[in-house]
Structure 1
Amino acid sequence: MTGTIQISEAALASLIGLTAHEIPGVVGMAPANLKEGISRVLGRANVSDGVVIGRDREGGTYTADLYIVAAYGVSIPTVARNIVERVEHTVKNLAGIELSATRVHAVGVQRV
């Protein structure tokens, strides 16, 4: 018996958001757009905040953009590299999906 497994973009974004939160030097995720920012102000934040999933024109591959807030004093390029490596590894192993691009946008720095 064969079948297909489909993983929603929302589930993929949650997996990526949870993985990013595990990286030392990440204080949190930043709203990726106005709608997400309004939801956060209204108290409806969730683990996929700050993650935007994209698909290529043919719909075959995914991209991920992560909007993070870094801890003050950490090397942002090192944190970004760690995020990319861990996210791509986790998504491939847990979801069976290879991301064609993973981009980290450091949009803030905060003391912890």
Structure 2
Amino acid sequence: MVENQLLNVSESTPLGKVEIAPDVLEVIAGIATTEVLGVSSMRGNFASGVAERLGKKAHGKGIKVELKEDIVSIDVYIVVDYGHSVPTVAEKIQVNVRQGIENMTAIQIKEINVHVVGVQMEQDIDEKDE
């Protein structure tokens, strides 16, 4: 997470200016990632895991937004479902995240890096019920 930085998405007008917090980009990227078939889960940090256990949905979990001047890079950390092609899932994530952020914020993303940190094996039906 980036501290206290805002992205200017419009020039200053008589009505004011529009700025977007990096947390907003994390949420958009997180939702866009979970929509991709083959993504089992997102890999977050300890704090997001605790928040989810307490009932708070962490949409930005597993997403890291990096700002250097006006250049935006996004890192996505995922667990892939067993049996899905990793390169195909990663490419779909990159396309989905780029489209989601550009459509909602008009911000151009320099790069979207997908890090596969695990593979989720299928569970038997009996294990799911327990």
Q: Is the TM-score greater than 0.5?
A: yes
State yes or no: 1:25 paired with 2:38: yes
Partner of 1:92: 102
Deviation string, structure 1 residues 44-63 (Cα, Å, up to 9, x no partner): 5601010000012xx21211
* Gapped regions of structure 1 (runs ≥ 5): none
Structure 1: distance between partners of 2:39 and 2:83: 11
State yes or no: 1:71 paired with 2:81: yes
Partner letter of residue 75 of structure 2?
Answer: D
* Gapped regions of structure 2 (runs ≥ 5): 1-13, 123-130
Partner letter of residue 109 of structure 2?
Answer: L
- Which fold has the larger relative contact order, with Cα–Cα distance below 8 Å and residues 6 or more apart in sequence? 1
Structure 1: distance between partners of 2:121 and 2:105: 34
Aligned residues between the structures: 106
Partner letter of residue 24 of structure 2?
Answer: A
Aligned-pair distance for 1:2? 3.8
CA change 1:106–1:97 in 2 (3 A) is same
Percent identity of the aligned residues? 30
Higher-Rg member (1/2): 2
Aligned-pair distance for 1:38? 4.4
Structure 1: distance between partners of 2:47 and 2:30: 18
Partner of 1:103: 113
TM-score, normalization: structure 1?
0.86
